[in-house]
Amino acid sequence: MSRTPGQSALCLVVGLFAAGCTQATNESAAVQPSGWDSELRLPEATDDNPDPHVFETTLVAQVAQIQIIPGKTTPVWTYNGVFPGPLLRVARGDRLIVHFRNQLPEPTTIHWHGIRLPNAMDGVPGVTQPQVEPGATFDYDFVLPDAGTFWYHPHVDSAAQEGFGLYGPIVVTDPDEPADLGDELVLLLSDMELNDDGTQAPADEGGDLATLFGREGNTLLVNGKLNPLLTARAGLRQRWRLINAAKSRYFQLGMAGQHFTRIGGDDGLIATPEPLSTIVLTPAQRADVVLDLAMPASSEVPVQWLPYDRGFGSTEYRQPATIFRIRTTDDAPLASPALPALGRDIAPIDVSKATPQLLRLTQNDESGKFELGINGIPGSKAEPIMVPMGDTQVWTVKNEVAWAHPFHLHGFFFQVLDVNGVAPSVAEWRDTTNVPVDASVRIAIHFDERPGMWMFHCHILDHADAGMMGMAMLHPAE
């Protein structure tokens, strides 16, 4: 990432003391060392369309042999043979065309998580499109109406396919955003269950009990890498666009001595920046944070996964684990300038005439077999919630299972009104929200004019596959 504006301003100052800016560059200019993010940089998709407002590319789902554990190869389910899938970097308002081809042994689709797109582009098999059979193709084509950090993943046999590696990031840039929020890193967090020889464990390992807990892989990955190293200038601001692409694992991130400022969430900037000492992401959530890297020169600090309580067994006997490391150069730490004024006007959704819905997240004990559901009914047997276009609704999502659930609605942003009666401290748009153990979470949704069947589900994908999903049918009002 270049930092041209900041660099030239600094050159002016340095120029007073040094003969010329070129001479000062290596010593003092506020840039990251070259190759600073080489272990973490994601491959970017190529744009094959000459129109500057159309990004057209090809994604091919295919199994590739990837070295994750040194000296071992892992058969990973990938897009374009790279892991994670290529970064799609597009500007708000641009059109994205993806020519998709399936070269996997199983049918699949692509779901564009968090994007407010037309229903036919949502990637839900048998609902918004036919599944893409092995050898077949499908063209996705839609406009990106919102800036933010999003991602893409399959929606067929999701726990298995996503668990095997099918996911990639999408950054939708905002031309109106202040230019200098720091050097940007897109960090896609995930995990994988690997055997000693590098092969992947079967997706159903451990049976119903493992499904009920939600399978967490034994190998923690950042951008598909095991414990990579970032080399950075102390005090120089960085911006991290974080995505949790793990199928079940919550990520709570911490870094000794470091404070983060969260500026964005699932769906673009939050109302006002929020200082944090740790960052929590449920599966599928995103966070946009800046940090001024409060570290001495020539030192190394681990960025750690910290146990987070999402129910029984999620914290007991579990230790923090390093997911990547930051090493500072021997340049003297910089004092970071004040953060530019940031924020977003997020008017509360008017819920005075909202239609209420109660969604209990359930374990369906009466069914005689292991099954999860919503209001006691598994997704496969549920009637859709009928919603007239233009309606505003308040959904009370009540957790009746002994584990937390990240609740996700396709195609729409919502606002969390409260968790057990307590309103969130900062206004923001979300598409995935945590429903803790014993909690009721109320969310407000305004359904616009995009008719069709919109899915909602727990984003612990084992839970979704075991039945914790449902649909809202958005139809023209009479």
Positions in the binding site for Cu ion (CB under 5 A): 405, 458, 460, 463
Asked if 295 touches ligand C2O (CB under 6 A), the answer is no
Q: In this complex, which beta carbon is closest to Cu ion, that of residue 453 or of residue 458?
A: 458
Q: In this complex, which beta carbon is closest to Cu ion, that of residue 68 or of residue 458?
A: 458
Strands 278-281 and 251-254: antiparallel
Site for ligand C2O in 456-475 (CB under 6 A): 457, 459
Q: Which of 263, 284, 397, 474 binds ligand C2O (CB under 6 A)?
A: 284
Are 299 and 327 in contact by the 8 Å Cβ rule? The answer is yes
Asked if 453 touches ligand C2O (CB under 6 A), the answer is no
Least distance in angstroms from the C-beta of 99 to ligand C2O: 22
Q: Which of 233, 247, 408, 463 binds ligand C2O (CB under 6 A)?
A: 408
Least distance in angstroms from the C-beta of 471 to ligand C2O: 11
Least distance in angstroms from the C-beta of 341 to ligand C2O: 32
Q: In this complex, which beta carbon is closest to ligand C2O, that of residue 3 or of residue 457?
A: 457
Site for ligand C2O in 128-167 (CB under 6 A): 153, 155
Return the one option of Cu ion, ligand C2O, none that residue 111 interacts with (CB less than 5 to 8 A, by type).
ligand C2O
Give the contacts of 140 (CB within 8 A, at least 6 positions apart): 96, 97, 98, 100, 110, 112, 121, 123
Tokens of 149: 């950090």
Least distance in angstroms from the C-beta of 459 to Cu ion: 7
Helix (H) or strand (E) holding 25: helix 21-28
Q: What is the largest CA-CA distance in the chain?
A: 81
Q: Between vectors from CA 173 to CA 168 and to CA 176, what angle results, nearest 5°?
A: 165
What are the helix and strand counts (H, E) for the chain? 5, 29
Contact window for ligand C2O (CB under 6 A) among 72-80, 359-367, 396-404, 452-460: 452-460
Q: In this complex, which beta carbon is closest to ligand C2O, that of residue 167 or of residue 213?
A: 167
Give the contacts of 67 (CB within 8 A, at least 6 positions apart): 73, 74
Burial 158-171 (b: 16+ CB within 10 A, else e): bbbbbbbbbbbbbb
| Nearest residue to ligand C2O, scored by beta-carbon proximity | 113
Residue count of the chain, please give it: 478
The residue ranges of DSSP E strands in 92-132, in sequence order, are 95-102, 111-113
Asked if 410 touches ligand C2O (CB under 6 A), the answer is yes
Nearest to 247 by CA among 345, 116, 159, 316: 159
Contact window for ligand C2O (CB under 6 A) among 4-12, 200-208, 384-392, 454-462: 454-462
3-state secondary structure of 302: strand
Q: In this complex, which beta carbon is closest to Cu ion, that of residue 143 or of residue 377?
A: 377
Q: In this complex, which beta carbon is closest to ligand C2O, that of residue 314 or of residue 432?
A: 432
Size of the site for ligand C2O (CB under 6 A): 10
Tokens of 279: 């960052």
Q: In this complex, which beta carbon is closest to ligand C2O, that of residue 111 or of residue 430?
A: 111
Asked if 111 touches ligand C2O (CB under 6 A), the answer is yes
Q: Which of 113, 215, 241, 463 binds ligand C2O (CB under 6 A)?
A: 113
3-state secondary structure of 399: strand
3-state secondary structure of 21: helix
Tally Cβ neighbours within 10 Å of residue 432: 23
Tally Cβ neighbours within 10 Å of residue 100: 21
Asked if 372 touches ligand C2O (CB under 6 A), the answer is no
Residue ranges in contact with ligand C2O by CB under 6 A:
111, 113, 153, 155, 284, 408, 410, 455, 457, 459
